Amino acid sequence: MSALPRGSTVRRDAGLYGYERALRRVGLDPIAGVDEAGRGPCAGPLVAAAVILPDGKRGQVPGLADSKLLTAKARDRCYEEVRKRALAWSVVAIEAPECDRLGMHVANVQALRRALFRLDVRPSYVLTDGFGVDGLGVPGLAIWKGDRVAACIAAASVIAKVTRDRVMEHWDKEYPQYGFGIHKGYCTPEHQAALDEYGPCPQHRRRFENVRRSLRPDMGQNVASPTGVESLPVSERSERTNNTAGPSAHAGAERSEVQA
């Protein structure tokens, strides 16, 4: 990943939209932000999103911030606003068994790439949160705590977080003993107590040491999924809005529901 192009600078007080403004001043537009949710939990999918916000007031999302700093209700509001206002957005999920096969870092990089490649609008520049991602096909910049300082990354973090939370709420109905609807698969004491009592379910990541420790001898390393549960479709979506339309006018089609 490269530094900001020559001639583009970002003041410390430039606000959440400062990076995009600086890049547009040197002719780089559209700009995509990518981010993921679910790298740290020991259960559930890894979800990544990519978002391109339009220039001007239409691209300024009310209340937008790093998804981790927002309440659940505020995230839901931002989620709907991002989907309405975005020039394009996409979200992909890599399920727990695939995370186990690839390892979390490789799964993370692949998820970010897939989200970017599924955008209906090809970006000229990409902003990523924390670390650079090779193989994106366009120049870009990794920003430390990018979801707090770049609007397009913050928007991607909201899409990824809300999508993943809703997936975990689905799994909470299938496996209520673990409390997925509360802790969303993170390694809380309550979650660990349930793991120790019941052992892991198909949504648990076997690469995590605490999950392996909870395997009972009669389980082996793999647990079969109940019928109809194994392939919960998390759509890989992208939507494009008309540049000249108002914030509520948007068109898009859901792509085929393919597991990432």
8 Å CB contact between 63 and 183: no
Three-state SS string across the chain, please? Answer: CCCCCCCCCCCCCCCCCHHHHHHHHCCCCCEEEEEEECCCCCECCEEEEEEECCCCHHHCCCCCCCHHHCCHHHHHHHHHHHHHHCCEEEEEEECHHHHHHHCHHHHHHHHHHHHHHCCCCCCCEEEEECCCCCCCCCCEEEECCHHHHCHHHHHHHHHHHHHHHHHHHHHHHHCHHHCHHHHCCCCCHHHHHHHHHHCCCCCECCCCHHHHHCCCCCCCCCCCCCCCCCCCCCCCEEEECCCCCCCCCCEECCCCCCCC
* Binding-site residues from annotation for a divalent metal cation: 35-36, 129
* Binding-site residues from annotation: 35-36, 129
Distance CA 236, CA 256 (A): 7
Distance CA 20, CA 27 (A): 11
8 Å CB contact between 33 and 50: yes
